[in-house]
Structure 1
Amino acid sequence: CPETNFFFVSPHSFDDTRILWPNDLSLSLSPLLYSKLVVFYAKLFPFISRYNGSLPNGDRGRRKSRFALYKRSKASGVKPSTVHVISTPQASKAISSKGHHSISYTLSRSQTVIVEYIHDKDTDMFQVGRSTESPIDFVVTDTISGNQNNDEAQITQSTISRFACRIVCDRNPPYTARIFAAGFDSSKNIFLGEKAAKWKNPDGHMDGLTTNGVLVMHPKGGFTEESKPGVWREISVCGDVYTLRETRSAQQRGKLVENETNILQDGSLIDLCGATLLWRTADGLLHTPTQKHIEALRQEINAARPQCPVGLNTLAFPSINRKDVVEEKQPWAYLSCGHVHGYHNWGHRSDTEANERECPMCRTVGPYVPLWLGCEAGFYVDAGPPTHAFSPCGHVCSEKSAKYWSQIPLPHGTHAFHPACPFCATQLSGEHNCVKLIFQGPID
């Protein structure tokens, strides 16, 4: 139902190995549907491309611009059971091939600890990774920043694990979701080799970390107008929480954080070293602006007939469906001061970079870029009007959303952190990373 942004689906349309997603709705579920027909756990928004909330060729199969998690018709979760200490490769192979899920910890050439996992009727498991093999429910690809050209965007070797992580959701209220590093492969095994960081905990159970790690940050205050950045932590294979390692792939683990858990919250960020995912819960999405609301805001701005203060021509944000095409009426802005203009070819300064101009209104020198409305509703912390633009990409959203993302240090590569635009992953710059836009109304 487009008017309410709810959709109604028969439970029989879901199968046990694929998560189906209705193509163009920024979904929220009605209480009736949530309680009686099918349980919607949450939705994941990957910062996966330069295309402002979509993929260039559209959503296909398990590779999407957003992922929805639903309660499966049959429980798919597993839980730890028997522990085997193996001294021969033959015995290790025999146990791993019994058909059960298992995690193998290779301590040395002569000793391997294998933890068998058995079916858990109370949970559903979803796996995320770069692999396109059938155990992966959601296939993610490396983030390509919006300010890179095609040559720079070529990724020679991905740092995302083929089987990066798994998310386990309780099938009963309150439908708690937990994240664990590493996913089971086609042989239902997670293998931590000799060089992987692993250890035995004081209570006797084995644990470890993946090569480049799975990092999680929970925002302070939830994902709301008052949200503040949290602290990045690393999640182990068994779901414990640790401080970050000295480097992303160091063999020495961080310190155990005993008062924190691997439970995902609305607005939690998951970083897979090459792709960052935003976790939005079912309850959180009920308070999120919809695509229809964003479109209404676009039409409201255009109806006000903003004008270029120099050329006096009327400006208009392009349709969301044409967000990759710079149109004649496209608003442009000087990101150092926020003055909005139509496109013009003057103001170049020989002593500045090629993309910087001098604003004819205030003579401030800075980037001059086209403005684009941020299209992915899941990244908004409120439903306010689009008044602020990220610098230097020019994506526009509400003031509180812009200021929230401007404060978030997102992992970059294997060692750095910096704030980035959620709509295109461009590293933010400028005094405050975003600027308030100054529109001029019609003079007639």
Structure 2
Amino acid sequence: MFSLGQENISAPPTSTKGPVKYGELIVLGCNGSMPAGCKGRRKSRFALSRRNKPNGVKPSTVHTSCTPQAAKAVSNKDQHSISFTLSRGQTVVVEYKHDGNTDMFQIGRSTETPIDFVVTDTVPGGQGHPGGQGHPGGPPDPQIGQSTISRFACRIICQRSPPYSAGIYAAGFDSSKNIFLGEKAAKWRLQDGQMDGLTTNGVLVMHPRPGFSQGSKPGLWREISVCGSVFTLRETRSAQQRGKLVESESNELLDGSLIDLCGATLLWRTAAGLACTPTAKHLEALRRELNAGRPQCPVGLNTLAFPSLSRKDVPDERQPWAYLRCGHVHGYHAWGGRRHPEVQADQHQRECPMCRASGPYVPLWLGCEPALYVDAEPPTHAFAPCGHVCSEETAAFWSRIPLPHGTHAFHAACPFCIRPLGGPAGGVRLIFQSPLD
């Protein structure tokens, strides 16, 4: 057997040129790129940088009745406002005014101009949105139903001055610079006369403790209101009764904060956190180092090699495969009645010829999104049942994180393809066979 070199490949220093970067949002399940490629505002990761001119807004005048001023605020396309419909005959309108100290970024499913980052539903194993291919080596995933991601899901407000803190708020302003909370939406009046509320399926946030690092443990999932207050989760995702206010917590995003939009989960990495993250070049160097060890199939004795990071969809003839119960790495073979690698692998229990352990037998794929790694160590572990490979600490970190699934469930999932993890540990240490010559 052989082991990978443990020496770290130093990442290049971050550039000091260009605009100030607040941080980046990474879509879980895309593994570094969208199925159709990263184009325009639809991509697997989005950088938030200081704008040339501030576009932030903050609450201003509150109109508690249908006055001409309230109607003007709603109809004025140069005026940001939020309308809270209390009943058929009463709507409270809150005007928002320009804030020269902040920048605003909006996220949602809509492709309209106000949305900076277009996010669509992530299909488990599909590396993208509805209709995308299934997990590598498997058939296409079926179309999923109507999206549960809001067209104007949330907005992030970043301070333009150090320490460049970022806060998240539910709902985003539409093309008319309005947010409308209908009669059925959960809403309430605050002591100072302002209003607040929740969106239909909510915006959930969780902060791993003590941040995005080795050994971190998951925090509690919370819901963020339209005005940025923090609440415990509702009984169900779209219940009209809000949770309890958590006054000891804020809506500030920390390095490693997870944002769930009910259909897609985003990871927030600060600029400081990204500076300590391995680069794509580093992952490529680890891949080359792994292949330089010439791992062999212990039965066929043929040399195995992980394909380049850009070829992460179609199994290669030298592709490593592994038995996920024991971790023994082989080349592909069709023993046990499976003739084609296109057949969905994890639905078949296979017996490892090395140790006779029975379990899923799948192709191995390197995790390609550097921002999902908690360290820069070699790829030694694979998630089960998908077969994505990463470092030991990265696998351990994500196996502890419960991600929202549907409207009420939570489960750990592979961050590279968002498939639910199976088995007691959610993954396995890989056992490679060294060359015999």
TM-score by length of 2: 0.91
Contact 1:335 1:368 in 2 (8 A): yes
In structure 2, the residue matched to 1:435 is: 428
User: Residue 95 in 1 paired to residue 84 in 2?
Assistant: no
In structure 1, the residue matched to 2:20 is: 39
Superposed counterparts of 1:18-417, under 5 Å: 29-30=14-15, 32-33=16-17, 37-47=18-28, 49=30, 52-87=31-66, 92-98=70-76, 99-146=78-125, 148=134, 152-347=141-336, 354-417=347-410
Contact 1:48 1:142 in 2 (8 A): no
Cα deviation for residue 354 of structure 1 reads 4.8
Query: Aligned partners of 2:306 and 2:294: how far apart in 1?
Result: 10
CA deviation map 1:129-179 (0-9, x unaligned): 000000000000101111757764313310000000000000000001000
In structure 2, the residue matched to 1:13 is: none
Give 1:427's aligned amino acid.
Answer: P
SS at match of 1:302: helix
Cα deviation for residue 93 of structure 1 reads 3.5
Contact 1:29 1:282 in 2 (8 A): no
Query: Aligned partners of 1:332 and 1:340: how far apart in 2?
Result: 6
Query: Aligned partners of 2:150 and 2:296: how far apart in 1?
Result: 49
Cα deviation for residue 279 of structure 1 reads 0.3
SS at match of 2:52: coil
Give 1:94's aligned amino acid.
Answer: K
Query: Aligned partners of 1:320 and 1:297: how far apart in 2?
Result: 11
Query: Aligned partners of 1:303 and 1:353: how far apart in 2?
Result: 29
Cα deviation for residue 65 of structure 1 reads 1.1
Which aligned runs of 4 or more in structure 1 are off by greater than 6 angstroms? Answer: 3-6
Query: Aligned partners of 1:224 and 1:249: how far apart in 2?
Result: 32
Query: Aligned partners of 1:196 and 1:93: how far apart in 2?
Result: 21
Cα deviation for residue 5 of structure 1 reads 7.1
Give 1:97's aligned amino acid.
Answer: S
User: Cα RMSD (Å) of the superposition?
Assistant: 1.9
Greater mean deviation of Cα atoms: 56-65 or 252-261 = 56-65
Give the share of equivalent positions with the same residue, in percent. Answer: 70
Cα deviation for residue 374 of structure 1 reads 0.3
Cα distance change of structure 1 residues 403 and 124 upon mapping to structure 2, 3 Å threshold: same
Give 2:21's aligned amino acid.
Answer: F
Cα deviation for residue 321 of structure 1 reads 1.4
In structure 1, the residue matched to 2:130 is: none
Contact 1:348 1:356 in 2 (8 A): no
Contact 1:75 1:121 in 2 (8 A): yes
Contact 1:176 1:263 in 2 (8 A): yes
Cα distance change of structure 1 residues 250 and 221 upon mapping to structure 2, 3 Å threshold: same
Cα deviation for residue 87 of structure 1 reads 3.7
Give 1:29's aligned amino acid.
Answer: T
Query: Aligned partners of 1:256 and 1:111: how far apart in 2?
Result: 25
SS at match of 2:272: helix
Cα deviation for residue 91 of structure 1 reads 6.5
SS at match of 2:360: strand
Contact 1:347 1:359 in 2 (8 A): no
SS at match of 2:259: strand
Cα distance change of structure 1 residues 224 and 39 upon mapping to structure 2, 3 Å threshold: same
Contact 1:348 1:354 in 2 (8 A): no
Cα distance change of structure 1 residues 333 and 291 upon mapping to structure 2, 3 Å threshold: same
SS at match of 1:172: coil
Mind listing any 5+ residue stretches in structure 1 that lack a counterpart? 7-27
Contact 1:372 1:395 in 2 (8 A): yes
Query: Aligned partners of 2:242 and 2:14: how far apart in 1?
Result: 40
Query: Aligned partners of 2:306 and 2:147: how far apart in 1?
Result: 36
Cα deviation for residue 95 of structure 1 reads 2.7
The total of aligned residue pairs comes to 412
Contact 1:348 1:357 in 2 (8 A): no
SS at match of 1:199: strand
Give 1:339's aligned amino acid.
Answer: H
